[in-house]
Structure 1
């Protein structure tokens, strides 16, 4: 039988520091490394947290600073280009004369009516004035009487002059005859003047047209009593010459200096729609009306075609010469600042600094204003500024998109 194997017995060896295993020796190093890494991670977390807080505080500071600077809307002034000036006008006849009676009586005949075209000197009406005719007859007789008395006085004075030369009569008596002759001569002159006056009144019984034109009004009829010289008497006829018309309009003071030679006018009237008529500048008042602050201007219109009627309203378009309104800019009316020092606007530079500048208004269009001086086109103007805004304030301008 085979022999059973004899078991080998391993005797334990003594453990010494030199014989300790490597893993047991490395455990404290790993712990230290892990501790160092943990501290580094904690420091990183703390740094990130601190940095985020600093960044948040900086952002808060920026937001707070931005909140203290107000945001404003800004606009740039636009250029004012010369453009035609449109004004209301009034058409007036070139010549218009009311015809009044110079002799009292009754209207015997009426030869014209409204709308009739008459020529200069044409008979319009005849007045029956029997009282004037009787006065004329009496004045004629009175003149003959005074003339006879003057002739007798002249012969008497001549005789007395011959007698006083021979010392037959006194000088006093001769002077009395000479004085009587002077009185009779003056009475003759007076009688002749009265007769001429009555003859003129008799001639006024025939009413004639002072010039050629159209009868535009009639204030009497056959049989009407004519009371010449009465303060409340109306004109019997009105004669109007409308072959040419005067176009009157009032130009505002801001444009008064531009009215001169070379200015033309195009105008329309309601009864002819869009048909344009031309007028030529003839006269200006060369003075401003105190109440309206405007200057009266007269244009001449050729009306040979008789298309226009005197007294009509016209919409006038003035072609102003180049240079009118130069160096002017236009801004919204809401950008204007009213203060005790006058009108002004708030301007912002590229750094957001405000400058309040006084301006002069050239023309008010309602929603917009034309600025004559104090503002340039390239500047940025605050629209609807605060009443408390001052020069030197800082703002954040919101410029419109291009």
Structure 2
């Protein structure tokens, strides 16, 4: 009708404006309906995975408010999936390079004496905590029967590959000086101080990963004044003989 000039342009503009205004009202009302439907869908809570409810912090008839109340986070439920458990351990910094994904682990629990459970290192944090000087590692443990409970305390033994040419020496054999860590060995009747690189610390003994060779005679308790080239005499420990009698 506009093309044939049967309707004035002003009437057409008024009709189009009214249509657009009504359409905006309909869209706004539809948005309100969608919001109400979304809020109504919150009446049902769906867990992101299958599991067992281990804690329930609400009850039938209790008012549930959206969001956090007073900056206090309140969880409705705690759900545990016990078929595969995740164990987080703090690996000491000296073992961080050996703690790589795929490493096997053995778990022992006080409630299962004499038994071990197998796990596998899946991933690490790839960073050392500057406070604890440890690396966080995640170990997955298959738990098909559900006998291992979530939250239980366990001791984890990682099977870290050892150095191919490492040696164990008593801690008392170490010499701490300005040149670094050293060990005194005997060559041709004289002491020789060798710089060494330590590995794992086992308490009374420590692993030496470099600086020693097979067949070296190590001085167990070297004096602080010992220097390279100083003549020493190797004394074999006296054999002890057990004596006893009968009456």
TM-score (norm: length of structure 2)? 0.79
Structure 1 residue 330: deviation in Å? Answer: 1.3
**Partners in 2 of 1:255 and 1:354 — Cα distance?**
32
**Partners in 1 of 2:95 and 2:15 — Cα distance?**
76
Say if 1:183 and 1:345 are closer, same or farther in 2 by CA, change over 3 A: farther
**Secondary structure of the structure 2 residue equivalent to 1:270:** coil
Q: Which protein has greater RCO, CA pairs closer than 8 Å, 6+ apart?
A: 1
Say if 1:164 and 1:355 are closer, same or farther in 2 by CA, change over 3 A: same
Say if 1:356 and 1:164 are closer, same or farther in 2 by CA, change over 3 A: same
Q: Per-residue CA shift, 1:27-74, capped at 9, x if unaligned?
A: xxxxxxxxxxxxxxxxxxxxxxxxxxxxxxxxxxxxxxxxxxxxxxxx
**Residue of structure 1 equivalent to 2:244:** none
Large movers: runs of 4+ above 6 Å: none
Q: Which structure has the greater CA radius of gyration?
A: 1
Does residue 327 in structure 1 map to residue 171 in structure 2? no
**Partners in 2 of 1:180 and 1:328 — Cα distance?**
88
1:394 to 198, 221, 231: 231
Check conservation: 2:184, 2:218, Cα contact below 8 A. yes
Q: Per-residue CA shift, 1:167-207, capped at 9, x if unaligned?
A: 85347x75565455444433422321221111121122233
5+ residue gaps in structure 2? 240-247
Matches within 5 A, 1:93-104: none
5+ residue gaps in structure 1? 1-161
**Residue of structure 2 equivalent to 1:32:** none
**Secondary structure of the structure 1 residue equivalent to 2:137:** strand
Q: Per-residue CA shift, 1:216-246, capped at 9, x if unaligned?
A: 1111223433211124241122222212222
CA RMSD of aligned residues (A): 2.9
**Residue of structure 2 equivalent to 1:340:** 178
Does residue 204 in structure 1 map to residue 42 in structure 2? yes
**Residue of structure 1 equivalent to 2:85:** 245
Matches within 5 A, 1:350-369: 350-351=188-189, 353-369=190-206
**Residue of structure 1 equivalent to 2:214:** 377
**Partners in 1 of 2:121 and 2:195 — Cα distance?**
39
**Residue of structure 2 equivalent to 1:123:** none
**Residue of structure 2 equivalent to 1:189:** 27
**Residue of structure 2 equivalent to 1:287:** 126
Say if 1:181 and 1:168 are closer, same or farther in 2 by CA, change over 3 A: closer
**Partners in 2 of 1:211 and 1:345 — Cα distance?**
57
Structure 1 residue 165: deviation in Å? Answer: 6.2
Aligned residues: 236
Matches within 5 A, 1:3-402: 162-163=1-2, 166=5, 169-170=8-9, 174=12, 178-230=16-68, 231-259=71-99, 263-279=103-119, 281=120, 283-285=122-124, 287-291=126-130, 292-320=132-160, 324-351=162-189, 353-400=190-237
**Partners in 1 of 2:6 and 2:181 — Cα distance?**
100
Structure 1 residue 376: deviation in Å? Answer: 1.8
Check conservation: 1:266, 1:316, Cα contact below 8 A. yes
**Partners in 2 of 1:189 and 1:182 — Cα distance?**
10
Say if 1:394 and 1:182 are closer, same or farther in 2 by CA, change over 3 A: farther
More helix as a share of residues: 1
